[in-house]
Structure 1
Amino acid sequence: MISVEEALEIVLSKPGNYGTERVLLNKIVHRFLAEDIFADRDSPPYDRVMMDGIAINSSAMDAGTKHGFLIEGIQAAGDVQKKLQQQQNCIEVMTGTLVPAGTDTIVPYEQIDIIDNRAFLKQPFVPKNHIHQQGSDHKKGTLALQKGKRLAAADAGLLAAVGIEQVPVFTLPKTAIVATGNELVPVAQVPESHQVRMSNVYALQAALQTDSIAADIFHINDDETILLTQLSAIVKDYDVVLISGGVSKGKYDFVPAILEKLGVQKLFHQVAQRPGKPFWFGHQPALQTHVFAYPGNPVSTFVCHQFYLRQWLSNNFNNHQKLPLAKLSGEINGSAALSLFISVKISNDDNTVKEIVNNGSGDLFSLTKTDGFIYLPKGAMHYSSGSVFPFLKID
C-alpha cells in the first residue's frame, strides 16, 4: 500500500496527450488554453475618457473658473478624435471615448453646471484626472493569457479584445464512466429491497462537466465474462475510463484481474488513505488508455476523482497548481496510519472550514452538504483549531 503522495506522483507521471483544437468564444469556459495569447495592441488603445463630463486643458483653469468653459462640441464614443480649438474652452465627452486633442483633464458632469452652452465649475478639479492612459493595462505584444490557463468568463472578454475569435484549447479526452454491481438499477426504476439506484456515475458525470468533459455512462454486472467483453470494448474506444466499484477484496471484485487481462498495466492498487483506500490506477500502453478504478462507496469515489483525476487533467494541460490552504474551525482527529480526506463546510463569517460529520464513505447525503475536503497527512493523531490544511474545493 502506497502513500497519497506516491499515488499522486504516479498518476501525474502518466500524462495523456489528446492534441489541440479551436473553439468559439462562447465555448471556452473551463477549457484549458493551448497557446500563449499576446496583446495585438495597447490596452486601452488610446487615452480613454473614464467619466461623462467635459474635457479641458488644465492650464486654462483660471480663465474657465471666472467665465466658464465654452462648449465647442461633443466627443461621443466611436467618434474620430476631436481637437480643442481654443485653450480656454471645453468639449463634452462620454465615457469610453478618446480624450480630445489639446485636453488633459476630465471634469465629471456632477462637478459642473452648464448654462448658456458654458460649463461652470462647482468645485476645484484635479488636473490630469479621470483619464485611462493608453497602454496602462498592457502594452502591445505583452502576454495577455498564459498557455495552460483554465479559462473563465472574464477571459472571453479579453480574448475578444485582442481579436481571438477561434480560441486554441487542449482537446479533452474521450471519457467513459462504468458502474459495476448486480445491485444497481436505473434511476427511473423502483429498486427491490436488495437493490439501489445508480448514483456514483451521475455524480462523476456532473463533476466532469465542470471541466467541460461529456462522458458516456455504462453499467456492467459482476460477471467475469460480461465484464471482460464489455470492458475490452470500452478500453479500446475511450481515452479515459473511470470505473466505480469492483476493486476491493470481495469475491465479486473482478475488475483488477480483468484489466490485467486487457493489458492495462497496474501502477498501484490501494492507497493509505480514508476514504478511498482500494483505489486502483493503470495504463494501457498500446492504446494509451488511462483507467481510474474507484471504490464503490460514493464519498470514496468522489474524493478519488476530485483529488487524483482533476489534478491529472490539469497537469496534462500545462496547468500546474497546488491546492489552496484552509484554516480549520474546531479540533479534529488524525490517523497514524492513513491520510484523511475530511468533508468540510466553509464558514461565511470568518472564511474558515468546519468538519461535517458523516456516517462513513457510504453516506451519499453528506456530499450535498460538503463544500470540499481538507487533506490530513498521516502521522499526527490530533489537530487543534486554527490548523491549516490543503483544501480540495468542489466546483
Structure 2
Amino acid sequence: MISVEEAIDIVMSQTIEAGTEKVPLQKATGRVLQENILADRDFPSFNRVMMDGIAVNSKAWQEGRREFYVEGMQTAGAPQQALSQEQNCIEVMTGAMLPQNTDVVIRYEDVKIEDKVARVSIDEVKPLQNVHLKGTDRKLDDVLIHKNQKLSPAEIAILATVGKHTVEVVRHLKVAIVSTGDELVDVNEMPHPYQIRRSNTYALQSALQAEGHEAQAFHINDEKDALETKLREIVGEYDVVILSGGVSKGKKDYVPEILEKLNVKKLFHGVKQRPGKPFWFGVREEGSSPTAIFALPGNPVSTFMCFYAYTLPWLRKCYGLNTQILEANLAEEFDFQPPLTYFLQVKLTMDQGQLLAVPVTGKGSGDLANLLEADAFLQLPSDRSAFKAGESFPVIQYRQIF
C-alpha cells in the first residue's frame, strides 16, 4: 500500500487534456471558459440616466432657475433627444440616454410637474447627478472575463451583454459510472433481505451534476465474463471510468484482474487510509487518448470519500480549475489508533471567523446514513493517534456550507 500523499500525487499527475468545444450560451453555465471575453463597446455605451425624473442643464440651475418647462420625454431604448432651450428640461426614464445639452438628472421625488412646468423642491444639485457616464464601468476591448473561469450566472449575463451566443469552453470528458455486485438492485425495485438498492451510482452522478457534468451509469453483476465484456466496451468508449465495488480481496472481486486483461496500467492498488483502503487507480493508454480508471471500494462512505478526495480534484485539474483544499480546526479532541490517514466525517460550523470541524464518527464505511449528519471529511495524518482541539487539518467538503 502507498500513502495518501503518494496516491494524490500519482492521481494528479495523470490528468487528461480535455480539449475545447463551442456551446450555446444557454448551455454554458458551469462550464470552464477557454477564451478571454472583451468588451465590444464602452460600458455603459452612452451617458445613462440613473433615475426617473427630469434632465436639466446645471448652468440654468446655478443661475437660480428652479422652474423648468418640459420640452418632451426621453425614454429608454429611444434615440437621444436634445434640449433646445437651456432654461427648459426633458423628462427622462431610468436607462435612457441623457439628452444632449443636459448634465443633471433630478428625480421625480424632488419635482412637482403641473401644466408642463417642473418645479424643483430641493436646494442642491450637482453636475452629473444621477448620470452614469459612458465608459466608466469598462472601456472598449477591456478584458471582462479571463479564460479558465467557471461560468456562473454573473458571467453568463456578461456574455449575453457582449453578444456571445456561442462560447468556447473546455470539452467535458466523457464519464462512465459503473457499479458491480450481485447484491445490488435498482432504485425502483424492492430488495430481498439479502439485497440493497444501488446508491453509489446515484450519489456519484449527483456529485458530478453539482459540478455541471453529466455521466452515464451502468451496473454489472459479479460474473467474470460479463464483467470483462462490458468493461472492455466501456473503457474503449469513455475518457473516465469510475467503478464502485469489486476491488477488495473477496472471491468475486474481479475488477483488478479484468482491468489488467484490458491493458489498463495499474498505478496503485491500496492506500493507507480509512475509509477506502482498497482504492485502485490506473490508466489505459490505447487509442487516440488515455482513459483514467478510478476503481473505488464499494462501501458507500468509501466510495463517497474517494470520489471527493481523489476523483473530483483530478477532474477539476483536467478542466484547469482551482484544486486548493481548505483547512478547518478540529472542534474537540479526537483519537484514532491505526497508522492510517483517517478521513474523519465532520459537521462544519463557523465561530468568530474560524471554520470548525465537529466529529461525527458514525459506524464505519457502510454507514451511509451518517453522511446526512456530516458535511465533510477532515484529513487526519497517519503519523499520530491523538489530535487536539484547535488543530488545523485539510477539509474535503461534500456539502457546501461555507
Q: Does TM-score exceed 0.5, indicating one fold?
A: yes
Task: Measure, in 1, the Cα distance between the counterparts of 2:235 and 2:80.
Answer: 63
Q: Which residue in the other structure is 1:392 paired with?
A: 397
Identity score, percent: 46
Whether the 8 Å contact between 1:68 and 1:119 is mirrored in structure 2 is: yes
- Structure 1 residue 344 and structure 2 residue 349: aligned? no
Range 71-80 or range 128-137, more displaced: 128-137
- Post-superposition Cα deviations, 1:321-366, rounded to whole Å, max 9, x if no partner, equal 4134445544555678333333334448867444434222212122
Task: Measure, in 1, the Cα distance between the counterparts of 2:223 and 2:273.
Answer: 29
Shift of residue 307, structure 1, vs aligned partner? 2.6
Whether the 8 Å contact between 1:334 and 1:383 is mirrored in structure 2 is: no
The within-5 A match list for 1:76-115 is 76-115=75-114
Tell me which amino acid in the other structure corresponds to 1:315: K
Shift of residue 371, structure 1, vs aligned partner? 3.3
Q: 1:216 to 1:93 in 2, by over 3 A?
A: same
Whether the 8 Å contact between 2:18 and 2:318 is mirrored in structure 1 is: no
Q: Which residue in the other structure is 1:366 paired with?
A: 370
Q: Which residue in the other structure is 1:248 paired with?
A: 248
Shift of residue 136, structure 1, vs aligned partner? 2.3
Q: How many equivalent residue pairs?
A: 394
- Post-superposition Cα deviations, 1:62-86, rounded to whole Å, max 9, x if no partner, equal 445x542222221111111122223
Q: Which residue in the other structure is 1:121 paired with?
A: 120
Shift of residue 35, structure 1, vs aligned partner? 1.9
Shift of residue 393, structure 1, vs aligned partner? 4.3
Task: Measure, in 1, the Cα distance between the counterparts of 2:345 and 2:238.
Answer: 32
- Structure 1 residue 51 and structure 2 residue 72: aligned? no
Q: Which residue in the other structure is 1:382 paired with?
A: 387
Q: 1:107 to 1:338 in 2, by over 3 A?
A: farther
Range 117-126 or range 87-96, more displaced: 117-126
Unaligned runs of 5+ in 1: none
Whether the 8 Å contact between 1:106 and 1:131 is mirrored in structure 2 is: yes
Task: Measure, in 1, the Cα distance between the counterparts of 2:154 and 2:217.
Answer: 32
Tell me which amino acid in the other structure corresponds to 1:361: S
Task: Measure, in 2, the Cα distance between the counterparts of 1:269 and 1:182.
Answer: 23
Q: Which residue in the other structure is 2:226 paired with?
A: 226
- Post-superposition Cα deviations, 1:168-217, rounded to whole Å, max 9, x if no partner, equal 12221222111111211222222222111111011111212223333222
- Structure 1 residue 299 and structure 2 residue 301: aligned? yes
Whether the 8 Å contact between 1:326 and 1:391 is mirrored in structure 2 is: no
Which TM-score applies when normalising by structure 1?
0.90
Tell me which amino acid in the other structure corresponds to 2:103: D
Q: 1:115 to 1:312 in 2, by over 3 A?
A: same
Range 66-75 or range 40-49, more displaced: 66-75
Whether the 8 Å contact between 1:34 and 1:169 is mirrored in structure 2 is: yes
C-alpha RMSD over aligned residues: 2.5
Q: Which residue in the other structure is 1:289 paired with?
A: 291
Q: 1:72 to 1:390 in 2, by over 3 A?
A: farther
Whether the 8 Å contact between 2:200 and 2:244 is mirrored in structure 1 is: yes
Shift of residue 263, structure 1, vs aligned partner? 0.8
Shift of residue 248, structure 1, vs aligned partner? 2.0
Whether the 8 Å contact between 2:325 and 2:394 is mirrored in structure 1 is: no
Q: Which residue in the other structure is 1:145 paired with?
A: 145
Shift of residue 301, structure 1, vs aligned partner? 0.9
Shift of residue 160, structure 1, vs aligned partner? 0.7
Whether the 8 Å contact between 1:147 and 1:318 is mirrored in structure 2 is: no
